């Protein structure tokens, strides 16, 4: 029996160690903190501003959240402080996933581990019910700065052929893993004479205009520039993705319906109000190389995305300002003072 006692002792010790390791190894919860202050009213104002910007459009908070909480309800956080809390998650991974959903608009949001127990109230993604079509082809994926797991994706879908024209649609999505948070479909189209009859008529018209132009008609010369004899694709394409302002902004080329116009118009597609919002046109038809587009904020910091200048190869194109009430960017001036256009 004496020979067996050490073995039983070892097993008993191991049992105790394993039990204590399980208890000690349990991860303490993590708070998703949107801000902290000594005074609760300041945080209430902050939450109101975030709600006005629809910063919580991509999350489903637990009932009663987000809200202001005292430090005594969040063990381990600085005493005598109040906290604006989006929720409390069981793991750091869950908390970081939740903070990523609001980070584009609340760039000072953080995750902070507690030292004691707290009721879990972790928010989840507010996902769209929008399965990807079988013919969709992935083109590119662009991560959000400082928001791990959040991406802007490009797909092409709905391919179609009309005469010699091959067209398709551009689908832009914001996603976190399998959860689709926002999407916009920019439809392509075939323009010009897109039937045999229309092409025959177009060729006859061109011949007539050429005859008039030879006789010195300037009007005929102008009309010839915008006379098409073939069916042409006018699709949207991403030329560049900018991340300078804390979120991906896709520079999208939109083909001009004007035949003589070889260069496309350009717009920015960027997150706003839980959607992907299209900016006003940023180029005059046919001007500017969209791959050289840049954005510079009026003021650096977490609010940089609200007001910024757009330029192409150093040439000022537009100044955009965010209108929270309308959920859109507005072009509010022609050029910076003193800029030579």
Give the span between the Cα atoms of 274 and 55, in whole angstroms: 7
3-state secondary structure of 223: helix
For residue 163, is pLDDT > 60?
Answer: yes
Left (φ > 0), alpha (ψ -120 to 50) or beta: where does 273 sit?
left
Give the span between the Cα atoms of 203 and 229, in whole angstroms: 6
- Other CB atoms within a 10 A radius of the CB of residue 262 amount to 10
Report residue 108: phi and psi, to 5°: -95, 10
Number of folded domains that form the chain? 3
* Residue 131 in domain: no
Report residue 338: phi and psi, to 5°: 85, -5
What's the pLDDT tens digit per position in 218-277? 887 888 877 778 888 889 999 999 999 988 999 998 875 555 555 567 899 999 999 999
145, 271: one domain = yes
Cα–Cα nearest to 336, from 315, 321, 305: 315
Report residue 120: phi and psi, to 5°: -80, 140
Reported pTM: 0.82
249, 265: one domain = yes
Beta bridge partners, 266, equal 253
For residue 148, is pLDDT > 70?
Answer: yes
Element (H, E) at 23: helix 5-25
What's the pLDDT tens digit per position in 325-336? 899 999 987 554
74, 148: one domain = no
The pLDDT value recorded for residue 338 is 46
* Residue 83 in domain: yes
292, 147: one domain = yes
36, 161: one domain = no
Element (H, E) at 50: helix 40-52
* Residue 15 in domain: no
237, 290: one domain = yes
Q: Residue 152 has what DSSP assignment?
A: E
The pLDDT value recorded for residue 259 is 55
What is the C-alpha end-to-end distance of the chain, expressed in Å? 98
* Residue 268 in domain: yes
184, 282: one domain = yes
* Residue 339 in domain: no
Write down the residue that tokens 């430090």 correspond to: 71
- pLDDT band of residue 88 (cuts 50, 70, 90) is very high
218, 292: one domain = no
The pLDDT value recorded for residue 22 is 34
61, 172: one domain = no
* Residue 97 in domain: yes
The stretch 92-97 carries a mean pLDDT of: 96
> 61: which residues sit within 8 A by CB, 6+ positions away?
86, 87, 121, 123
Element (H, E) at 199: helix 196-214
* Residue 47 in domain: yes
Give the span between the Cα atoms of 243 and 320, in whole angstroms: 16
249, 183: one domain = yes
Instruction: Pick the last residue of a domain from 72, 95, 125.
Output: 125
Inter-residue contact 30 to 95 (CB < 8 Å): yes
160, 275: one domain = yes
- Other CB atoms within a 10 A radius of the CB of residue 164 amount to 13
* Residue 174 in domain: yes
220, 241: one domain = no
The residue range of the domain holding 43 is 27-125
């Amino acid at each position: 029996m004496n020979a067996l006692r050490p073995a039983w002792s070892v097993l008993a010790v191991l049992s105790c160690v394993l039990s204590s390791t399980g208890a000690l190894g349990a991860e303490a919860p993590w708070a998703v903190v949107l801000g902290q202050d000594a005074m609760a009213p300041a945080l209430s104002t902050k939450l109101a501003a975030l709600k006005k910007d629809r910063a919580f459009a991509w999350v489903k908070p637990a009932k009663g959240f987000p809200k202001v909480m005292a430090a005594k309800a969040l063990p381990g956080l600085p005493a005598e402080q109040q906290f604006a809390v989006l929720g409390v998650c069981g793991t750091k991974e869950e908390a970081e996933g939740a903070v990523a959903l609001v980070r584009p608009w609340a760039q000072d949001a953080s995750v902070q581990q507690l030292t004691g127990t707290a009721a879990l109230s972790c928010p989840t993604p507010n996902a769209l019910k929008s399965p990807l079509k079988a013919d969709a082809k992935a083109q590119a994926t662009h991560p959000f700065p400082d928001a791990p797991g959040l991406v802007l994706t490009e797909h092409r879908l709905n391919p179609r052929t009309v005469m010699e024209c091959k067209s398709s649609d551009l689908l832009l999505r914001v996603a976190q893993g399998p959860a689709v948070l926002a999407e916009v479909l920019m439809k392509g189209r075939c323009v010009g004479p897109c039937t045999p009859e229309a092409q025959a008529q177009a060729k006859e018209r061109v011949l007539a205009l050429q005859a008039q132009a030879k006789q010195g008609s300037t009007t005929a010369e102008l009309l010839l520039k915008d006379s098409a004899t073939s069916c042409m694709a006018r699709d949207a394409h991403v030329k560049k993705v900018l991340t300078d302002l804390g979120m991906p902004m896709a520079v999208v080329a939109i083909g001009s319906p004007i035949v003589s116009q070889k260069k496309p118009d350009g717009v920015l597609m960027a997150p706003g109000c839980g959607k992907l919002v299209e900016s006003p046109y940023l180029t005059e038809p046919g001007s500017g190389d969209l791959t050289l587009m840049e954005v510079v904020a009026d003021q650096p910091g977490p609010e940089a995305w609200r007001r910024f200048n757009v330029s192409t190869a150093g040439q000022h194109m537009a100044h955009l300002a965010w209108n929270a009430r309308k959920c859109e960017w507005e072009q509010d001036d022609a050029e910076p003072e003193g800029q030579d256009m």
